[in-house]
Structure formats: structure tokens, C-alpha cells
């Protein structure tokens, strides 16, 4: 099997780590990498498709980029059409695109709230809606939603982010309920603090934060389970506790 794996937010952080993990571990995987930053996306695609001195890529890996603002309906429709023309139906959809910002509730601007909801929640709805019909027709597929521990429990100064991630958690639960008899597996992933460029300069030691590769491994391992088993939710936290 040469699965088609589409990853949003694939230009850095966990998304890039997921792409590289599938490229390293799955023979012949066909990656559709989606994000707004075309330059970074191209760098990730090159790392996935070409072996380097420190990589072990499986044979036959292809990685194509599809630059897209996944919070924009028209852009998502065009992206989905381009992916389908290039690869055909998507087997694994990983809704990873997201953003994080903090502010007290009373100081959260409407525009910032809308941006958090659009980037984290609206994007997952639009992309899933674009690829779900083909999965339903084939009665097969895997859909992952990247929520957060912020989608399970609230914490101060993150009203917009928590609201968006709670929405992602709810969206995943609804889709799981609607598609469990249609051959589609739905998994919602709730990671805690995960190392990415945004943590540089934060003052938090890297060893206090999970490596992105560990979170990426969880996606791969969940997908590899037999079709008789689904992991509906998975929570990942730093061993030393929340940052």
C-alpha cells in the first residue's frame, strides 16, 4: 500500500515532524504538505523526499507541496482539487494547522479571537469537509485532529485558544459519532508543551518540553493499528508536568 497522507501546518514544528516520520517509516508514502509558508514547506518536502546524512528514508517516497490558507474556503476547495488531481483520494488526513496566542479574557480583541478560531477550528472543519466525501464513498480513511490539553481543560490568559481547541475536540467527537460505521477512524490528539521554534527565547528549558518527534510518532503508531481498532483520543504531556 502506498498511502496518500495530507498534513496541514506542515511547514514547521509538529507538522514537519509528522511528515518526516511518515517519510522515514512508511514505504512509498505519498505526502501532500499544506501550509501558507511556501518556502518552509518546500524545505520540508525536500527533507522528506531525499535522503541525507542523518536520515533513513523509505523507498519510493514522494512529497508535494500545496500552499494554502486553510482558513479560507475558496483556497481549501482549490487545494483539495489540486491534491486529488495529483494523488487521487487521500487516505490519511492530519488536521495539524494552528496558532497560539495568549491574553487575558478582558484584553482579548475580537479580531484576535476570530483569528484563533479561524486558524485552529475553522481550518479543520473546511479541510475535513473537503476530503470526507471521498472517504465516505470508499468507506475507508483516517482523520486526525490536532487539539491540545487546552482543548480538555481551561487555563488563564488563553480564552481564544482554549475556545478554539475545545471546538476542535467537539468537532472530532461529532465526526467520530457520525462515521464510526462508515470505515473511517477519527482520532483527536491532545499534546502538552511540544518543542518548536516558538519556544526559543521563552526561558523554558528544552528538556522540560516534549520533542516534536515524539508527538509525530504517536500519529504514526495510531495509524498503524489494525482497522478493527481506533484510538479516539490520546493525551501527551511532558514527563515533568505541564510548563
Tens-digit pLDDT profile for residues 166-196: 999 999 999 999 999 999 999 999 999 998 8
- Domain-located, residue 139: yes
- pTM, full prediction: 0.94
Does residue 232 lie in a domain region? Answer: yes
The answer, yes or no, to whether residue 210 has pLDDT greater than 50, is: yes
Distance (Å) of CA 77 to CA 32, 42, 141, 182, 228:
15, 21, 19, 23, 32
219 pLDDT exceeds 50?
yes
Q: Is residue 242 part of a domain?
A: no
Place of cell 507538522: 15
Domain of residue 19: give its range: 4-236
The CATH number of residue 147's host domain is 3.40.50.720
Residues β-bridged to residue 30: 4, 62
Name the percent of the chain lying above pLDDT 70. Answer: 96
In a domain, 241, yes or no: no
**Rounded distance between C-alpha atoms, residue 200 and residue 156, angstroms:** 22
- Residue 224: inside a domain: yes
Please indicate, yes or no, if residue 8 is contained in any of the structural domains: yes
Order the strands of the 92-95 sheet from edge to edge: 62-67, 30-35, 4-8, 92-95, 141-146, 184-191, 233-236
Mean pLDDT over the full length of the chain: 94
**Inside any domain, residue 52:** yes
Provide the pLDDT for residue 56: 53
pLDDT in tens, 35-69: 999 999 999 999 998 755 444 555 689 999 999 99
39 lies in a domain? Answer: yes
> How many CA atoms are closer than 13 Å to the CA of 197, on its beta-carbon side?
8
Which pLDDT belongs to residue 243?
Answer: 80
Domain count, the chain: 1
Helix (H) or strand (E) holding 40: helix 38-49
The two most distant CA atoms of the chain are separated, in Å, by 53
Amino acid at each position: 500500500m502506498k498511502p496518500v497522507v495530507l498534513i496541514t501546518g506542515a511547514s514547521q514544528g509538529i507538522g514537519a515532524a509528522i511528515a518526516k516520520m511518515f517519510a522515514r517509516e512508511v514505504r512509498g508514502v505519498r505526502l501532500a504538505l499544506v501550509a501558507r509558508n511556501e518556502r518552509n514547506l518546500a524545505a520540508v518536502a525536500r527533507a522528506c523526499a531525499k535522503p541525507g546524512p542523518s536520515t533513513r528514508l523509505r523507498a519510493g517516497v514522494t512529497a508535494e507541496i500545496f500552499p494554502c490558507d486553510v482558513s479560507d474556503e475558496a483556497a481549501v476547495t482549490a487545494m483539495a482539487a489540486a491534491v486529488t488531481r495529483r494523488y487521487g483520494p487521500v487516505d490519511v488526513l492530519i488536521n495539524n494547522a494552528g496558532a497560539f496566542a495568549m491574553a487575558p479574557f478582558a484584553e482579548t480583541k475580537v479580531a484576535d479571537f476570530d483569528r484563533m478560531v479561524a486558524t485552529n477550528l475553522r481550518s479543520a472543519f473546511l479541510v475535513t469537509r473537503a476530503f470526507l466525501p471521498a472517504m465516505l464513498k470508499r468507506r475507508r480513511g483516517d482523520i486526525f485532529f490536532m487539539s491540545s490539553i487546552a482543548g480538555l481543560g481551561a487555563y488563564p490568559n488563553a480564552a481564544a485558544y482554549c475556545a478554539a481547541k475545545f471546538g476542535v475536540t467537539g468537532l472530532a467527537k461529532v465526526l467520530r459519532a457520525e462515521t464510526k460505521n462508515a470505515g473511517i477512524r477519527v482520532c483527536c490528539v491532545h499534546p502538552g508543551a511540544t518543542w518548536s521554534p516558538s519556544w526559543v527565547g521563552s526561558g523554558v528549558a528544552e528538556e522540560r518540553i516534549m520533542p516534536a518527534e515524539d508527538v509525530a510518532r504517536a500519529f504514526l503508531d495510531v495509524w498503524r493499528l489494525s482497522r478493527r481498532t481506533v484510538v479516539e483520543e490520546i493525551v501527551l504531556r511532558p514527563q515533568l508536568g505541564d510548563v
